[in-house]
Amino acid sequence: MLPDERRTRPLTTDRRAAAEAAFERLSARGTAFLGSRAPIMGGAMTWVSERNLVAAISNAGGFGVIACGAMEPERLREEIRATRALTDAPFGVNLITMHPLLHDLIGVCLEEHVGHVVLAGGLPSRAAMRLVKEGGPKLICFAPAPVLARKLVRDGADALVIEGSEAGGHIGPVSTNVLAQEILPLIREVPVFVAGGIGRGEAMLSFMEMGASGCQLGTRLVCAAESIAHPAFKQAFFKGEARDAQPSVQVDPGFPVIPVRALQNKATARFIEFQHETIAEVRNGALETKEAQLKIEHFWAGALRRAVIEGDVENGSLMAGQSVGMVKTEQPVAEILADLRAQAVAALEARTAV
């Protein structure tokens, strides 16, 4: 190339290449840990994160995660094998720590050679963590506070997810932004993935520049073309705005309820009535307190299936994060992931524009 040509050559291509390279550097730790091309984990959403969506995420370069939820061991085995039939790429399995057959479910993951196991829904026991670790899979745990993040790393977690209250489904009390500021500077020994309210690549980039190895997205992927969620469920998401995704209300401090963030509908009002009715059964001696708490907690399990699978968006649970306002159309997973990457790279590129 002649000197004059070099001087007059547009800088756009060079800036884009530099931005792409910078994003790859930020992604390197997360993609190496997950074995994926993109540092994006799919959130484990009951009834939604099944074989089709999980395989689509992994095939598109992300990291799909099966939501075991209340599955029995052999049902989980079936889902793992069905997912593997749809993808050769790595994927993980999310197990709820409160599941009465947790150790059996871990055993299934080991027997099926699952590469990554996520223990969620509560602080995992050291015994459960040790069982995963000794079996070979990489262990991912949720850390709701700095002190617990430290403890989980000491106990053997290979990676952490920090999920803020903007997320859909069961949530904690602290925002994603605050958790990231508290935990990302503290934890350097293992990869940390940030979740909750993330719907665009610029937000993903900001957390990765703070030290995150990647992000976990759920709500943004619910309405993917490959998702089996009912068309009516998807339409509710398309119509929803951030302000419509609200946490559930606890009516009595004596009966603690983990808040559930969802789009407001008849089921939301019904949950308040259900709590009052169940608590009344305890007061009149018809139920023990622990039974009542479990009954209240189980309310959402059936309600979620009614909405996601049957399409009853009035009486079912519309669990959604506050990023739901950014979900406006059905897209293939590959297109969603490409959009997120393009947004992050464009943000990097814009910084060097003259």
The model's pLDDT over 279-304, given as tens digits with 9 standing for 90+, comes to 999 999 999 988 888 788 778 878 99
> How far lies 246's CA from each of 235, 265, 268, 307, in Å?
18, 10, 9, 17
Whether 243 contacts 321, CB under 8 Å:
no
Measured torsion, CA atoms of residues 314, 247, 91, 82, in degrees rounded to the nearest 10: -20
Distance CA 55, CA 36 (A): 12
Q: How many CB atoms lie within 10 A of CB 194?
A: 29
Structure tokens at 228: 């089996």
Which tokens belong to 43?
């959130």
pLDDT tens across 144-174, in order? Answer: 999 999 999 999 999 999 999 999 999 999 9
Distance of CA 328 to the CA centre of its chain: 19
If you write DSSP's letter for every residue of 327-338 in order, what string do you get?
A: --S-B-HHHHHH
Q: Helix (H, G, I), strand (E, B), or coil: what is residue 276?
A: helix
Give residue 258's pLDDT. Answer: 83
pLDDT category of residue 354 using cuts at 50, 70 and 90 = low
The mean of the pLDDT values for the chain is 94
Which of these, 226, 172, 176, lies nearest to 203 by C-alpha position? 176
Copy the structure tokens of residue 170. Answer: 């069961």
Residue 11, SS3? coil
Q: C-alpha angle 215/152/131, rounded to 5°?
A: 100
Kindly state the average pLDDT of the residues 67-82. Answer: 97
Give 3-229+327-351's CATH code, choosing from 3.20.20.70, 3.30.70.1400, 3.40.1670.10, 3.40.309.10: 3.20.20.70
Report whether 161 contacts 216 (CB < 8 A). Answer: yes
Domain boundaries, the chain: 3-229+327-351, 241-319
Percent above pLDDT 70 for the chain: 97
pLDDT at residue 66 greater than cutoff 70: yes
Q: Which residues contact 141 (CB under 8 A, 6 or more apart)?
A: 118, 119, 120, 124, 129, 152, 157, 159, 160, 161
With H, G, I as helix, E, B as strand and everything else as coil, classify residue 296: helix
User: Is 18 buried (19+), middle (13-18) or exposed (0-12) by CB count in 10 A?
Assistant: middle
CA-based nearest residue to 104, from 147, 74, 59, 130: 74
Spatial distance between the Cα atoms of 320 and 325, rounded to a whole number of angstroms: 10
User: What is the SS3 assignment for 349?
Assistant: helix
